[in-house]
Amino acid sequence: GGFSVDNATLTRFFAFHFLFPFVIAGVTILHLLFLHETGSNNPAGLNSDADKIAFHPYFSYKDLLGFAVMLLALTSLALFSPNLLGDPDNFTPANPLVTPPHIKPEWYFLFAYAILRSIPNKLGG
């Protein structure tokens, strides 16, 4: 048995790679929120309360709701129809009666190709 990367594997790969930046952004936002609440290290011992600016709850919740709605829309798009925004599978169906143009048989095999092509598949050709 061989190893192959199937469509399901690629779909999972692309879905996780789509979600991973949002996970990083979420952890970054959590970090900034905790940094805003508790402040950073203050080795000089200066009073930094004047520098802290409180977030207005309305704007915070509005931004979180908008982010959640956009994330829900993009996640549902990526999980329910992952091929919607991708490139189409443009492949040419194989035609056993025509040698592909990139295959150039040697001139001394041409008679054998002609004989083999003349035998139908039903007869073992």
CA-nearest of 81, 68, 80 to 26 is 68
Is 49 catalytic? The answer is no
Catalytic residue of the set 40, 56, 102, 118: 40
β strands within 15-82, DSSP E: none
Q: Give the SS3 label for residue 101.
A: coil
Catalytic residue of the set 37, 48, 63, 76: 63
Place of tokens 């001139």: 107
Count other C-beta atoms under 10 Å from residue 122's C-beta: 6
The sign one gets for the Cα dihedral 95, 100, 105, 107 is: positive
Is 6 catalytic? The answer is no
Catalytic residue of the set 49, 51, 87, 106: 106
Is 118 catalytic? The answer is no
Is 36 catalytic? The answer is yes
Catalytic residue of the set 60, 62, 76, 81: 62
Is 106 catalytic? The answer is yes
Catalytic residue of the set 17, 31, 36, 60: 36
Active site residues per annotation: 36, 40, 62-63, 106
